[in-house]
Amino acid sequence: MVEGNQSNQIREDGEMKTYILPLALLCASLSLTSCGDDENNTINTPTEDVVPGTNHRILIAYFSEPLPDNGVDAASSASRLIVNGDLCGSVEYMATVIGEATGGDRVRIQTATPYPEEYAALADQANEERLNGTHPALATNIENFDDYDVIFVGYPIWWYQMPMAMYSFFDAYDFTGKTIIPFSSHGGSGWSGTVDDIAEMEPQATMVNGYSIPRNSVAESADGIRSWLREIGIIE
């Protein structure tokens, strides 16, 4: 089910307000993502600087973190933000900014069995899926996927790669002839090879330069995201 442009969900009096939660456990042993200063933004796949074509039908498909009500759990995850007093995932916030700027439809990629809300349990499950190569079943079903020609694909970096639910997403849909534009938040690892992973899975799609940002910069990223969208020619 595709959500429409839902900018009113995070706007208050026309102004988007964001706050970073305390990142006390950012580099703790249970961290889902990599830490440190060794960003890996090497991309071997040829990518386009500008989105080809015009009159696009745009979909923003993104995977974002489960959002607990428990403030302690929220504070333990650097992938979560407070936006206008509401908790949201860092990738969810990026997807919202992209949706508002482009007018594209947004859909959140969700698994049939929800991930744990408690952070340590979430980290353990994500690592187990990674080690076992598990592609979890999805609850998300985009019936009109074929109607879109430009697909923004958003995800956090978990354990130096995309969450395994993203591999399920690419398994589920045919991207032949479509344009893929990745965006991501990370804890220090940059793209971590994920753009090449997507290109390998979807060789018949066109890859366009994406946008990757450290999680602790997401709250102030709206202007940077819009600047990137202008650079790739999707907005004026």
Q: Contact at 8 Å (CB) between 119 and 76?
A: yes
The span from the CA of 30 to the CA of 97, in Å, is: 29
Residue 1 within any structural domain of the chain = no
Q: Could you tell me where the beta strands, DSSP code E, fall in the chain? A: 18-20, 58-62, 80-83, 86-89, 105-108, 150-156, 179-186, 206-207, 211-214
Which pLDDT belongs to residue 40?
59
pLDDT in tens, 117-141: 787 888 899 999 999 999 999 999 9
The number of domains in the chain is 1
pLDDT in tens, 44-54: 888 999 999 89
The span from the CA of 177 to the CA of 149, in Å, is: 8
Pairing label, strands 86-89, 206-207: unpaired
**φ, ψ dihedrals at 108, nearest 5°:** -90, 130
Q: pLDDT tier at 105 (50, 70, 90 boundaries)? A: very high
pLDDT in tens, 150-197: 999 999 998 889 999 999 999 999 999 999 999 999 888 889 899 999
Residue 236 within any structural domain of the chain = no
Pairing label, strands 18-20, 80-83: antiparallel
Residue 2 within any structural domain of the chain = no
Domain of residue 179, CATH code: 3.40.50.360
Domain of 172 in residue numbering reads as 7-231
Whole-model pTM?
Answer: 0.80
